[in-house]
């Protein structure tokens, strides 16, 4: 009995305690992919996707949309029928983490559209192996019929070597994202 304890314990930990928190498909040749032009199934390349498949509660889809877009061939579309009123991997969303320079200021800009939402949760922050320091705010939509431009800046604090961006949906809506750009100022 003792010889089977360790393999069984590891199997239980992997299946019950260490579930996936996002889908991720990486391909450096696809770049930042802020226009959401490159997809593998329902996952845009180089973005972490919080989905029903990863245990995010609710009923929703994340997909490439060729009919509603600001530029290029596709936009990212969330169709949310039910979700938890939360952020992070507890709500539909995407995230990206990349190397950053402490003390540098970064600007994220892009386009968002929704006839239903007045705002969506947004985070941008510095992270390292042990901590994160985020600006948590919302992207506010001024128009319910047109694409809304947004931009946000963030200065990475001393001691942090990565930048994390996250956009979520926390209520029942259709939301489209397109043309995200990240610049170091």
Please state the domain count of the chain.
1
Q: 97: burial class by Cβ within 10 Å (0-12, 13-18, 19+)?
A: middle
Q: Which residue has the higher pLDDT, 15 or 181?
A: 181
Name 44's Cβ contacts closer than 8 Å, sequence gap at least 6: 25, 33, 36, 38, 64, 76, 94
Average predicted confidence (pLDDT) for the chain:
88
In-domain check, residue 35: yes
In-domain check, residue 4: no
In-domain check, residue 141: yes
CATH number of the domain to which 48 belongs: 2.60.120.260
In-domain check, residue 5: no
In-domain check, residue 31: yes
- According to the model, what pLDDT value does residue 20 have? 54
Over residues 110-116, the mean pLDDT reads: 96
In-domain check, residue 59: yes
In-domain check, residue 173: yes
pLDDT digits (tens, 9 = 90+) for 74-102: 999 999 998 878 777 788 999 999 999 99
Predicted TM-score (pTM) of the model is: 0.85
pLDDT digits (tens, 9 = 90+) for 64-79: 999 999 999 999 999 9
- According to the model, what pLDDT value does residue 140 have? 95
Over residues 113-136, the mean pLDDT reads: 92
- The strand order across the sheet containing 48-50 reads 48-50, 93-99, 162-168, 119-127, 132-140
Separation between Cα atoms, residue 4 and residue 113, nearest integer Å? 54
What is the band of 1 on the pLDDT scale with cuts at 50, 70, 90?
very low
Q: Which domain, by its residues, includes 176?
A: 21-184
**3-state SS class at 7:** helix
In-domain check, residue 136: yes
């Amino acid at each position: 009995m003792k010889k089977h304890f360790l393999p069984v314990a590891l199997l239980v930990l992997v299946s019950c305690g260490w579930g996936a928190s996002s889908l991720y498909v990486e391909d450096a040749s696809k770049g930042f992919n802020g226009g959401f032009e490159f997809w593998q199934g329902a996952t845009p390349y180089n973005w972490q996707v919080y989905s029903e498949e990863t245990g995010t509660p609710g009923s929703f889809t994340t997909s490439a949309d060729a009919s509603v877009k600001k530029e290029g061939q596709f936009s990212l579309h969330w169709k949310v029928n039910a979700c938890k009123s939360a952020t992070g991997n507890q709500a539909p969303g995407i995230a990206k983490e990349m190397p950053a320079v402490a003390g540098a200021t970064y600007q994220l800009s892009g386009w968002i559209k929704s006839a239903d939402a007045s705002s969506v949760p947004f985070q941008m922050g510095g992270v390292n192996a042990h901590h994160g320091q985020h600006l948590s705010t919302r992207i506010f939509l001024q128009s319910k019929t047109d694409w809304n431009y947004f931009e946000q800046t963030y200065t990475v604090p001393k001691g942090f070597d990565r930048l994390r961006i996250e956009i979520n949906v926390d209520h029942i809506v259709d939301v489209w994202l397109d043309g995200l750009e990240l610049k170091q100022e």
